[in-house]
Amino acid sequence: MEKIPMLCFPHAGAGKLYYSKWRTEFTDAIDWNVVQYPLREQRMRIPMPPTVAELAENIFAEFADIFRRTYVIWGHSMGSVIGYEVARLCQDRLDNPPLVFFSSGASAPSRARFAHVADLDTSEGFRDVLHRYGGVSKEHLRDPDFMTYFAPIIEADLRLLGGYQDMTFDKLRCPVVLMMGRSDTATTDMWQRYTDHPLEVKEFDGGHFFLDEHRSAMASLMESQVESLPPGSKGTAERGRETAVLPEIR
């Protein structure tokens, strides 16, 4: 049986290293891939494009061979926005949307813009953003070496997201599955406008970074969803507009 590629789009500030442990959570049926943005790890010296659209174009070109096959996209937080823009390119140019689009910790693209760009202009404002954003411990915030490396990455990512706002509501011709933290500020509002399939929602305990505590359950959920869909299934068939809440996975 041919493996199905899953492309993981990291959240702001993260890269391949952060998501490396996820590979072991999937069976051999999944070909695990993490999209590497500029400014980090192996691409530390590559500048960030000025817009999400340009970054999506670069990723589309890099993974063109995969996007011509059956594949899956999962994006967390900012990664959901970038993953959506890449999925649109695949759909428009290759007539090949993802088998399923997974989003976690993210509001719909029309509501995903980072609205506090001005706070990034001062050290105090930047640290306040990191405190609100989460995912960075107080020890790391006090570590000058860590901040020297991390600060330019997260700042570039957030400024990129600050310049983005989708108002086209282009629908993906595939199922959309949302994974949300019960204490997160991200919402499911407007997501139904991005697919004609019933919107599926799974809630987990935790805030924006609930994925750190629920790695196994999330991977199991995603793989079971992939297995339930026939490869190559796509189209615009209307399957109702109600929201289906998935059963709890224990």
118 in a structural domain: no
DSSP letter for each residue of 183-246: T-S---TTGGGGBSSPEEEEEESSSTTGGGT-HHHHHHHHHHHHHHS-TT---------PEEEP
Structural domain total, the chain: 1
250 in a structural domain: no
Phi-psi label, residue 103: left if phi above 0, alpha if psi -120 to 50, beta otherwise: beta
143 in a structural domain: no
126 in a structural domain: no
Q: Are 175 and 102 in contact (CB under 8 A)?
A: no
Mean pLDDT for back-to-back runs of 10 residues, the chain (250 residues): 93 94 97 97 95 98 97 98 98 98 97 85 82 73 86 92 94 98 95 97 96 97 93 44 36
**Residue 79 identity:** G
Cα–chain center distance at 216? 17
Q: What is the CATH number of the domain that holds 75?
A: 3.40.50.1820
Compute the residue count for the chain. Answer: 250
Q: State which residues form the domain around 54.
A: 4-110+169-245
For residues 103 and 90, give the distance between their C-alpha atoms in angstroms, rounded to a whole number: 17
**Residue 224 identity:** S
Please tell me the predicted confidence (pLDDT) of residue 139. Answer: 82
131 in a structural domain: no
89 in a structural domain: yes
pTM of the shown model: 0.89
Please tell me the predicted confidence (pLDDT) of residue 234. Answer: 41
42 in a structural domain: yes
**Residue 180 identity:** M
129 in a structural domain: no
Q: Residue 63 contacts by C-beta under 8 Å, 6 or more apart in sequence?
A: 7, 33, 35
